[in-house]
Amino acid sequence: MNAPHETAAPSSLRLVLTLAIAGLVSGIAIIGIYESTLPTITANKARELREAVFKVLPGVSKMQALVYRDGELIAVGEPAKDEPVVYGGYDDQRDFVGYAMPAAGPGFQDTIAILYGYAPDRKLVVGMEVLESRETPGLGDKIYKDAEFVGGFRALSVEPEIVAVKKGTKSQPNEIDAITGATISSKAIVRIINETHTAWAEQLPPSGSEPELVETESAGTEAGL
């Protein structure tokens, strides 16, 4: 348009059509790649979840999904979509060991999704694993890379609530050393666990009367998968 030797400006219709066609083709391509990768992504996530449950609950070899329906915690093979769920972990003798609780909340950058192991008889957090996070590489990502921080969740009392303290000053069983340079991310993890613990406190049955392990086909949760 600026240069005189250029051909006349194309009609608005042509401009709109070009963009519409480009958008349409792009949309189809994106739907295609989404549909074709979805099964693999879902399978990966399910496998990661199983591995994470066995990691946060030491000594567990079987698991099942538990949901809170009609005033009690019951075992389900396949929890309904968007239904809050916890995982019960059982040892080889089919005895209840603890819950693996999925939890999520805002971190420094984006939502952090974690799974933590909770032993109701001792009121202890026994393990923590970060499932999803976009925390700053090199700083915030220490919430899952720093072995000391992750190790701090192996025996952490939730009574009255977990508190993140400056590194090296932990003195109470409910305190955990925050990561230097990643205080916000460390505190986010602690807040997520506290909030989830409070939210479920009323719904978990009293210690000793946890749901029994129900063997179902779809469970497929043997260790070593």
Partner 1 sequence: MKKNESYEEFIKGIWRDNPVFAQVLGMCPMLAVTNSAINAIAMGGATFFVLVGSSFLVSSFRNWIPKQVRISCFIIIIATFVTIADYTLLALVPKVHKELGAFIPLIVANCLILGRQEAFASRYPTRLAVMDALGMATGFLIALFSLGAVREILGDGALFGVKLFSENFDPWIIMILPPGGFLTLGVILLFFNWFKYKKDEFLEDVAEAERSGS
8 interacts with partner 1 by CB under 8 A: no
d(CA 165, CA 18): 58
CA distance 135 to 109: 6
List the interface residues with partner 1, window 164-183 (CB under 8 A).
181
Note whether 10 binds partner 1 by CB under 8 A: yes
**20: contact with partner 1 by CB under 8 A:** no
51 or 121, CB closer to partner 1?
A: 51
CA distance 81 to 86: 13
Distance CA(4)–CA(191), nearest Å, equals: 65
Q: Residue 75 or 139: which CB sits closer to partner 1?
A: 139
Among 65, 109, 166, 222, binds partner 1 (CB under 8 A): 109
Q: Report if residue 155 touches partner 1, rule: CB under 8 A.
A: no
C-alpha 206: how far from chain center: 25
Tokens of 130: 């970060």
Q: Does 74 bind partner 1 (CB under 8 A)?
A: no
Residues with Cβ within 8 Å of 140's Cβ and at least 6 positions away in sequence, in order, are 107, 108, 109, 133, 182, 184, 185
Under the binding rule (CB under 8 A), the answer on residue 23 touching partner 1 is yes
Which of the stretches 40-48, 111-119, 166-174, 199-207 binds partner 1 when contact is defined by CB under 8 A?
40-48
Q: How far apart are CA 131 and CA 113, in angstroms?
A: 5
Positions in the binding site for partner 1 (CB under 8 A) = 1, 6, 9-10, 14-15, 18-19, 22-23, 25-26, 29-30, 33-34, 37, 40-41, 44, 48, 109-110, 132-134, 137-139, 141, 181
